[in-house]
Structure 1
Amino acid sequence: MMRELTYYVAVSIDGYIAGPNGEFDRFLVEGDHMVGIVEKYRGTAPTVLAEKFGFPIDGGPFDTVLMGWNTYAVGLPDLPDPYRHLRQIVFTRGHDAPEGSDGVEFTDRDPVEVVRELKAEEGKGIWLCGGGSLAAVLRDEIDRLALKRNPVHFGDGIPLFEGRGYAPADFRPTAITPYESGVVLAEYVRS
């Protein structure tokens, strides 16, 4: 069986994964949704934070995480190797590897080609962490969506899928889990 690519990301109710300047601090990081989501998607917290707060990192659905440069750069300079418990691949065309990022693979290769190679390998799932531009490039390769829909409205910013024109795709829901915090975990699989 081929590995699957899951786009697992927080999103506002109006479809943005970050504000106009990359802000994501309005997403809820406390509330009843945290326990269920952290358990189901073990290993998706940066290693240092997981260790600090006791989040589980073993036994999760992913062994590889993909990021665009802007998503990766959010943690710099403090977290140059953010998910050291996973294989980390950052897609970039114009940035050099920062100091301390020995556990991160940086590539300027075609993301579609890389994902197809990863899917053919043995292993667990592949997590697309962000961002919107990379998701748009990989949209035909995405097998699952796991959207942490937050009860916030950005009005503008980085959309879930940024640009690339009209390209319809059908996904069917596999689970919709509402929490008292207002966060809804909406999970879909490609039809």
Structure 2
Amino acid sequence: MRKLIYYVAVTLDGYIADPDGAFDFFPLEGDHGPWIVENYPESVPGHFREQLGLAETPPRVFDTVLMGRATHQVAVDEGLSSGYPHLRQYVFTSRPDDLPTQEGLTITPEDPVAVVRRLKAEQSGLDIWLCGGGALASTLIDEIDELRLKINPLVLGDGIPLIGAAAAKPGASAMPLARRMSREFESGVTYAEYVRSA
């Protein structure tokens, strides 16, 4: 069965973006960059792929990407219909009619849990990438199989958390994880993989 993997950059204090949703403070330069491009070539946005020599590079880990409206809006604000035209992309929003569309891009108000369960049940394909944001991760917390984090040597103090506050509802259970591996880079970035341990 396909897995849902939350693969995202995060600060040391657990934020994936600042309070306004910006994430351009995460360092792109450094020895972690080439490693990420080599291991996750499909995570490079479509408008950068050709200049990095990735135009013909097939996906290695993911063939489908999921995101909330705010994450997708970054591409829209750049004049793009899709940030990841080389992947099957789902954008979850309560206002699907005011976003541009293109082939391979599904903009939907459907329940994300139902969509993920359907995608997981597909008989073939690579894994599913949850790339943001924190509110969508909160909604999908029971469906997340792995966290793969690019932990950056930054402290924000405030912003959009890795998992939105809705997950902390009364009676919510913890999500126990086991670290499968980690790698430290000279840039100060640490890449770490966590899987559900129960």
| TM-score, normalised with respect to structure 2 | 0.91
Q: 2:186 aligns with which of 165, 180, 189?
A: 180
Partner of 1:89 in structure 2? Answer: 90
Deviations 1:90-145 (A, max 9, x none): 00002425335443101111111110000000211000010000000101100111
How does 1:64-103 map onto structure 2 within 5 Å? Answer: 64-77=64-77, 78-99=79-100, 101-103=102-104
Q: CA deviation at 1:50?
A: 1.5
Check conservation: 1:145, 1:187, Cα contact below 8 A. yes
Partner AA of 1:51 in structure 2: E
- Return 5+ residue gaps in structure 2 as ranges: none
Q: Relative to 1, partners in 2 of residues 1:97 and 1:60: Cα closer, same or farther, differing over 3 Å?
A: farther
Check conservation: 2:68, 2:133, Cα contact below 8 A. yes
Partner of 2:34 in structure 1? Answer: 35
Partner of 1:13 in structure 2? Answer: 12
- Return 5+ residue gaps in structure 1 as ranges: none
C-alpha distance in 1, partners of 2:59/2:96? 32
Partner of 2:163 in structure 1? Answer: 161
| TM-score, normalised with respect to structure 1 | 0.94
Partner of 1:125 in structure 2? Answer: 127
C-alpha distance in 1, partners of 2:45/2:151? 20
C-alpha distance in 1, partners of 2:100/2:107? 13
Identity of aligned residues (%): 51
Q: Secondary structure at the match of 1:43?
A: helix
Check conservation: 2:68, 2:91, Cα contact below 8 A. yes
C-alpha distance in 1, partners of 2:131/2:45? 11
How does 1:41-52 map onto structure 2 within 5 Å? Answer: 41-52=40-51
C-alpha distance in 2, partners of 1:52/1:42? 13
Check conservation: 1:31, 1:181, Cα contact below 8 A. yes
C-alpha distance in 2, partners of 1:82/1:37? 17
Partner AA of 1:84 in structure 2: P
